[in-house]
Amino acid sequence: MTIATFIGLGVMGYPMAGHLANAGLAVRVWNRSPEKSAQWVKDYSGSACQTIKEAVKDADFVMTCVGADKDLITVYEGDNGILANAKPGAILVDHTTASAGVAERLAEAARKAGMGFIDAPVSGGQQGAQNGQLTVMCGGSEGDYTKAQSLLQHYARALNLMGPAGSGQKTKMVNQIAIAGLVQGLSEALHFAEQANLDVRKVVDVISKGAAQSWQMENRSGTMIDGEFDHGFAVDWMRKDLGICLDEARKVNASLPVTALVDQFYGDVQEMGGKRWDTSSLIQRLRKFR
């Protein structure tokens, strides 16, 4: 039986690991807080491990979904990390949204250790993870991707190899850049409709049938109108991602004026107490500063 280890049981990793267990794989989990691992075992079929070393021993695949670059370095490197304890031939798949540089670093270290590595950040949010409907953007070799593909399909709606190591992370940056501008545009549109004393829901119903339509409009306009911001990806995490985008833009000489501005706007939302609000909360900034 294929052994798959999943490291990092946050709002994304928890259901993603669950899909692997539901597919009949032998799943081991590890999380910094062991109580989360214990709860996962109660919800799904698998085993909770006390250490990373125990979790990755003899595993065919090791999936990670942690916070940021520094967390990846912690779980992958060192005597107690994945690279020192996974078996040669194992395929390592990282779902963290991180920098392209750390993906390239880990891919090279994995190659030297005789392992495969795929950087595979995801889009679709907590709901997409729970429903097994994520978009997975992969970077790595064709051979490693082919081996991992059958596992990733258990929680992917769309799954593509974008190029060599780091390409998955760069594609996720494109995704976040696009979302930042869309959410700000939608926020301004709804705010204008409110200030113009229009029936905002009726406005959305009309314009969503035309060129203004977007996923954000279809799925977030109603909660934005109601001032409800507990439906997905948190502002703190978006700022982390946009920081990665802006750092990479400087490296590749790309100009991102709108992204830089929206990043500052999210900073305002944080100062308003909205660190854990979802990304559609940009509209609250406009309501406050009007």
- Quote the percentage of the chain above a pLDDT of 70: 100
- Cα dihedral across residues 87, 89, 93, 99: positive or negative: positive
Tell me what pLDDT residue 290 has.
72
Task: Over range 100-120, report the average pLDDT.
Answer: 98
**Taking Cα atoms as reference points, which of 15, 30, 40 lies closest to residue 64?**
30
Q: Which of 36, 57, 87, 172 is catalytic?
A: 172
Domain ranges of the chain: 3-164, 170-289
| φ and ψ at residue 90, rounded to 5 degrees | -65, 150
Beta carbons of 178 and 279 less than 8 angstroms apart: no
CATH topology of domain 3-164: Rossmann fold (3.40.50)
| Separation between Cα atoms, residue 118 and residue 205, nearest integer Å | 41
Residue 98 has pLDDT above 80, yes or no: yes
Which residues, including other chains, have CB under 8 Å from residue 142's CB and lie 6 or more apart?
A: 161
pLDDT digit string (tens) for 146-169? Answer: 999 999 999 999 999 999 999 999
Decide yes or no: CATH 2.130.10.10 for domain 170-289: no
**Summary mean pLDDT of the chain:** 97
Angle, to 10 degrees, between the axis of helix 167-195 and the axis of helix 257-271?
A: 70
Among 124, 122, 116, 74, which Cα is nearest to 96's? 122
Lowest mean pLDDT among 8-12, 126-130, 207-211: 126-130
If pLDDT is split at 50, 70 and 90, which confidence band does 105 have?
Answer: very high
Backbone angles phi, psi at 246, to 5 degrees: -70, -35
Give yes or no: 172 in active site. yes
**pLDDT the model gives residue 90:** 98
Q: ∠ CA 237-277-195 to the nearest 5 degrees? A: 125
Q: Rounded mean pLDDT of 222-235? A: 93
In this chain, the answer to whether the domains covering 3-164 and 170-289 adopt an identical fold is no
3-state secondary structure the chain: CCEEEEECCCCCHHHHHHHHHHCCCEEEEECCCHHHHHHHHHHCCCEECCCHHHHHCCCCEEEECCCCHHHHHHHHCCCCCHHHHCCCCCEEEECCCCCHHHHHHHHHHHHHCCCEEEECCEECHHHHHHHCCEEEEEECCHHHHHHHHHHHCCCEEEEEEEECCCHHHHHHHHHHHHHHHHHHHHHHHHHHHHHCCCCHHHHHHHHCCCCCCCHHHHHHHHHHHHCCCCCCCEHHHHHHHHHHHHHHHHHHCCCCHHHHHHHHHHHHHHHCCCCCCEHHHHHHHHHHHC
Q: Are 59 and 28 contacting, i.e. CB atoms less than 8 angstroms apart?
A: yes
State mean pLDDT over 186-202. Answer: 98
Q: How many CA atoms lie within 13 A of 27 on its CB side?
A: 30
Q: For residues 29 and 37, what is the distance between their CA atoms, to the nearest angstrom?
A: 6
pLDDT for position 233: 87
Which one is predicted more confidently, 2 or 1?
A: 2
86: exposed, middle or buried (C-beta count within 10 Å: 0-12, 13-18, 19+)?
buried
